[in-house]
Amino acid sequence: MTKMKEKDSKILIYASYTAATLGLLISLYLTLYHYIGIPLACSGSGLIDCASVLNSPYAYILGIPMAVFGIIFFAAFLVLLYINNKDSILIWNLIGIGTVVYLLDIEHIVGHICIWCTAVHVLVLALLILTIYGMMHKKK
């Protein structure tokens, strides 16, 4: 395990804040689609069809759009990052990855891909990678 330079540590933190903020904004955008019907900037036919994914019965848990849970996930991640609770950040990341696996299965069942959802999935994966990298190279 190598020690991380302070500059590298700051870059890692900024990258994590950026990824979580982007995830929060995308989740907010998708939530607004559900509740006020703002237009989706996404293909409406073929394999990539956000509306088919977002309007499927699988896009809700207890009547709540999955995008709302995305807002909760990314907002909580930002709080954990701010208070620098590394163990909780790792656990929260693992919950996020588990959710991504579930959502990828849903896209497979629906037969369409939501490009916005895929962006969120990539951001969750990036946060996990950044977290693990930071833990492996933490200062001693």
How do the pLDDT tens digits run along the chain, 140 residues long?
Answer: 456 677 778 899 999 999 999 999 999 999 999 999 999 998 778 899 999 999 999 999 999 999 999 999 999 999 999 998 888 999 999 999 999 999 999 999 999 999 999 999 999 999 999 999 988 877 54
Please tell us whether the domain made up of 6-136 is placed in CATH 1.20.1440.130: yes
Instruction: State both tokens at 24.
Output: 């929060």
Going from the C-alpha of 18 to that of each of 22, 51, 78, 115, the distances in angstroms are 6, 26, 10, 19
In whole angstroms, give the CA distance from residue 89 to residue 48: 32
**How close are the terminal C-alpha atoms of the chain, in Å?**
10
Amino acid 36: pLDDT: 96
Nearest Cα to 131, choosing from 6, 35, 15, 40? 15
> What SS3 state is found at 138?
coil
pTM of the full predicted structure?
0.90
